[in-house]
Chains A and B, each alone.
Chain A
């Protein structure tokens, strides 16, 4: 099984790539769209994946940040995240992984206790952000997280949507 490593490829110039991992396609799509609308000093690419490992056949740039999206309304998304975490190299957790928990606001729909996700983030020494992707747009912290603070003249065409969906094997999905 291929493991995602942070430094196995050379970085591209002025480009940042974020990988969103989560079971809910529609939510990831919305999040990716709103992230791309935000001002970023460098060119931003967002990849979506249902789970890890990613198929090795696709040629993709180096991943700078992995965001695991856990939907607190669905135990399945937590199980999927835990499965996917096994395919991430340990050195990724030095600041290149982030957990996003959605749906904490609607307490009546929660299947997972908030503390479960807190413990997960604590175990992997990574930050945990709470949001609600179903309600409104999310303000992302891509700039600060990636550390791409260099001011570059950003041309409009360079900031076009770069979205690619990694189609993962259908194992474990319905």
Chain B
């Protein structure tokens, strides 16, 4: 927050408005351009492929291993108010009590369900993009083993983790009392997700909303995942399109051999370490025109719903799954 103060030089007689915008946030720059009636035309987006950051060393492979090969449902989360990493044990206790109370209320009841559960909050070191990002943390619900002599960890019933990766643009607008962890990934029963969501919303005054991934972003994911070098391909690269027609929508599935997809991408891609909008568009256009040549159907008029590669897969409803370590 300090970098956005007015520069230290004393306000001179010619204090131009530009001086106040030396350290302006993108939001302020945008407002200024609107006020000046200049048109704010953004340059075509290009995304840098994040290289292996130094933070990777912090990652605990054991902890992260169980995050893989699971299907995660994505939610978008507003900043948490007065969340503290030092109170994790306290939060575990409170959430545990809340879940037990909710289940006993009969809101999410299955006959014979085991109420002996344990809630664990823990931080996930290294799951962030830059040093500025707040630490990710993990919430797990385990079933406690009945026998007191065995101190083994029970079965994991539900997992959820909160993270912030390369959230620089968001972190600029967040004030001190808030912790910004906009992405929440959940795996497990929907009822548990709802209960935990309610507790977080009540305790930290935040709001969850399901994150949908639109076709535009799915095509970016397809291109970037195809670009990844994989030692051996475990799955074909598959796309699923939904054709908007009445009364029932039609689904078109298109599977490509992963090596062919990679070869296509390599012929399009120019600058290593950077992916541009044109390259993504060209990659998808090649697939569309190939399909059109054979089936005379314009896939560009349909909606991309699911992308599945050897690296990971994503569905428009906000479900992702990664397949490689």
Contacts and interface: CB of A to CB of B under 8 A. Distances in A.
A79 B281 CA distance: 12
Nearest to A122: B41
B214 A75 contact: no
Contact of A108 (B277, B296, B301, B316): B316
A133 interface: no
A85 to B, nearest CB: 17
B41 A111 contact: no
A38 interface: no
Given A118-B41, A119-B41, A109 B301 contact: no
Contacts of A107: 212, 214
B215 A109 contact: yes
A23 B44 CA distance: 25
A83 to B, nearest CB: 12
B244 to A, nearest CB: 8
B61 interface: no
A62 B114 CA distance: 77
Nearest to A110: B214
Give the most central of A79, A110, A111, A115: most B CB within 10 Å. Answer: A111
A108 to B, nearest CB: 4
A62 to B, nearest CB: 31
B97 interface: no
B154 to A, nearest CB: 37
Contacts of B219: 111
A93 interface: no
Contacts of B300: 74-76, 79, 111
A108 B298 contact: no
A120 B298 CA distance: 22
A50 interface: no
A76 B214 contact: no
B180 interface: no
B194 to A, nearest CB: 21
Nearest to A71: B301
Nearest to A78: B300
B321 interface: no
Given A107-B212, A109-B215, A122-B39, A77 B303 contact: no
Contacts of A113: 45, 216, 277
A110 B219 CA distance: 11
Contacts of B214: 107-111
Contact of A74 (B42, B296, B297, B301): B301
A112 interface: yes
Given A73-B303, A76-B300, 6 more contacts: A73-B215, A74-B301, A77-B301, A108-B213, A108-B316, A109-B215
Interface of B: 39, 41-42, 44-45, 212-216, 219, 244, 277, 284, 288, 296-298, 300-304, 316
Pairs A-B, 5 closest by C-beta atoms: A76-B301, A108-B212, A75-B300, A76-B300, A111-B215
11 contacts: A74-B300, A75-B284, A76-B300, A108-B316, A109-B214, A109-B303, A111-B215, A111-B300, A111-B304, A118-B41, A174-B297
Interface of A: 23, 73-77, 79, 107-113, 115, 118-119, 122, 174
